[in-house]
Structures are given as C-alpha cells and as structure tokens.
Amino acid sequence: MTGHTLNWPSRNYARLIKRLELIYPGKYNYIISHTPSDNPYLIGMKDELKDFGAHKSSVVYFNGALKGLENYLTILKNAAAFIGPSTGTTHLAATLKVPVVGIYSPIKAQSALRWGPSGTGQVEVVTPDVVCGEVLKCAGESCPYHECMSKIEVDDLLKKLRPILEK
C-alpha cells in the first residue's frame, strides 16, 4: 500500500506470519502481494522474516507488476484467509468470498465505516482503539495517539483470524 491511508507497521505483518506458523506449523503459505511502489514498505517485513529459518519457503512475495492481476486473482480465490489494509486487494478478497480481516485507520475518511470491505463472505475489521478526531488525514506528531496503527497488536488480529482458520 503506497500510503494513501494509514497502515499497520510492516514488521507486524511479519510477526503475524511467525505466530501463525507457530500455531499452524507447515499448514499455510503466506503470499505477500505488492507492486514496485510498495518496496520501501517491504523492507521491515523482510528484515523481520530474515531469521524465519526453515519456514522461509512458506513466504512468497508476489509482485503484481510482473505476475499480473489474473494470476493474483487465481491465488486469492483459493486463499484460506486474507489479511490486509484498506486497499483494492481487500475488496477483491471480499468480493471473491475469501474470509477477510481488514486493518483500518480510525481517521473518518479512511475508516472501515466508509471504506470497509463488503461482500457476502466473512469480513472482520480491526482498528486501533483510539478516539481520533481527524477527518481527512493524520495529524502526525501533534496527535496524542500518533502511531496509532502500532497500537493494534498481533493478538488483535489472531482473535479475528483463528476462528476463520479453525472452521
């Protein structure tokens, strides 16, 4: 995601993958879709996963600019679950009835209330537990909850994701 809304720190996505692998060893592959504009965001994730050892082969970086939308949709429609921020891919997953755990900003114009995924499949949403008074964009360091997306814990996502994966 290229920064049009707030996102969960990339290291946290990697930490989620590590925790899922501890809970469900060898059961899942973790497809990290991206395009070249996402490369700076991937640095923290790759750094966090560098010591993933034998499980490293279960993490696949899918470059949509090279592989294309058709290939991505084929992978997506067969996914056990989709975890992601407020992006088009989250909406695609919901449309394909893939269970979704969406990570959304508390800013009014970026909120799940406005942009949350819809579909007839299972959709769960996680937002930081803060009272945000911003309408369009983050107030940055002047906000008492600056870095609010970091307040979402891996356990918050696991609470939504485990019931999906254990069906």
Which CATH number fits the domain that encloses residue 23? 3.40.50.2000
Q: Which tens digits make up the pLDDT trace of 138-162? A: 888 998 888 999 999 999 999 999 9
pTM above 0.95, yes or no: no
- Could you count the other beta carbons within 10 Å of the beta carbon of residue 28? 16
Helix ranges (H only) for the chain are 10-23, 39-49, 64-77, 88-95, 112-115, 154-165
Looking at the domain assignment, is residue 2 inside a domain? no
| Amino acid letter, residue 32 | I
CA distance readout (Å), 47 to 13, 18, 65, 128: 12, 13, 22, 24
Looking at the domain assignment, is residue 3 inside a domain? no
Looking at the domain assignment, is residue 137 inside a domain? yes
Looking at the domain assignment, is residue 37 inside a domain? yes
Looking at the domain assignment, is residue 51 inside a domain? yes
What is the distance in angstroms between the CA of the first residue and the CA of the last residue of the chain? 29
| Number of compact structural domains in the chain | 1
CA distance 116 to 138: 18
Q: Which tens digits make up the pLDDT trace of 59-87? A: 999 999 999 999 999 999 999 999 999 88
Looking at the domain assignment, is residue 88 inside a domain? yes
Q: What average pLDDT is seen over the chain?
A: 91
User: For position 1, what pLDDT does the model report?
Assistant: 58
Q: Which range has the worst mean pLDDT, 41-50, 82-91, 114-123, 131-140?
A: 114-123
Looking at the domain assignment, is residue 5 inside a domain? no
Looking at the domain assignment, is residue 4 inside a domain? no
What is the dihedral sign for C-alpha 15, 51, 32, 150? positive
Q: b/e map of 54-91 (b: 16 or more CB within 10 Å)?
A: eeeebbeeeeeeeeeeeebeeebeebebbbbbbbebbb
| Amino acid letter, residue 82 | F
CA distance 141 to 105: 16
pLDDT at 22 over 90: yes
User: For position 6, what pLDDT does the model report?
Assistant: 84
User: For position 47, what pLDDT does the model report?
Assistant: 94
Tokens of 117: 């995924």
Q: By residue range, what is the domain housing residue 138? A: 10-165
